[in-house]
Amino acid sequence: MVALTWAEAQTIAETGDAGSAVSTYQTLFGTGALTTLTGNIGLSTDVDLFRIKISNPATFSARTDVSSGNLNDTQLFLFTLAGAGILANDDISGKLKSLLPAGDSHLSALTAGDYLIAVSGYNFDAFDATSALIFPSSPFTGVYAPNSGVGILDHWSGSSSTGTYTVTFTGASFVTAIPEPAGTPLIAGLGCAAAIWIRSRFRGKSSGRNAT
Ligand SMILES: [Ca+2]
Ligand SMILES: [Ca+2]
């Protein structure tokens, strides 16, 4: 029973359509290891951006060639939460699917924490605000750090093939959920009550002094 719950918690599917910008990504909330993400590139202009946690930079990897999915020619891109490029790959040697390999120096140098991973179909690529290509795109089998001097992710351009995909991770976790916003009014209320109590105590003291 416990094992089943654990297995279920490691896999997640895109909900609706994940956004493509640093302001519209889909966060993969949950607890524990994140091993499998499934999604769909539904349009030639679709790219899916997800917020994940890299829990172990030394072992982190992401790949699209392990499980099923009929998007045959995938691309993977990793960014900081601010949209700065970290690493990208279009094709694994001899395949059209993609791999950000464990042990790559750009990955192992990261600090554990939250990052953005994007999935697109070939050939829908990431550009900065000056329409500079963020990552080199050929030869297709390269595992690329960003081009020098490029800015953060601004838009995507090109035309994507469409279909379903599966991303398999190592060294990744779900993003820990933010505490319930409902807690805020309670804390604010307590703060307010405390302020009233302090004011009433102060008044009490003052009037006490005045009375003396
Ligand atoms: Ca999608
Ligand atoms: Ca590819």
| Spatial separation of the C-alpha atoms in residues 73 and 90, rounded to whole Å | 8
17 Cα–ligand 1 center, Å: 4
Which one is the CATH code of 2-173: 2.60.120.380, 3.40.50.720, 1.10.10.60, 2.30.30.220?
2.60.120.380
What's this model's pTM, rounded to 2 decimal places?
A: 0.81
* Dist CA 106 CA 115 (whole Å): 13
Q: DSSP letters of 142-176? A: -EEPPPTT--S--EEEE----EEEEEEEESEEPBP
**Cβ neighbours for 191, distance < 8 A, ≥ 6 positions apart:** none
Residue 18 CA, ligand 1 centroid: distance in Å: 5
Per-residue pLDDT for the chain (212 aa), expressed as one digit of tens each?
334 344 444 899 999 999 999 999 999 999 999 999 999 999 999 999 999 999 999 999 999 999 789 999 999 999 999 999 999 999 999 999 999 999 999 999 999 999 999 999 999 999 999 999 999 999 999 999 999 999 999 999 999 999 999 999 999 999 998 766 654 444 444 444 444 444 444 444 444 444 43
* Å from CA of 33 to ligand 2 middle: 26
CA 105–ligand 2 middle distance (angstroms): 22
Ligand closest in space to the Cα of 63? 2
Q: Which residue has the tokens 């997800």?
A: 50
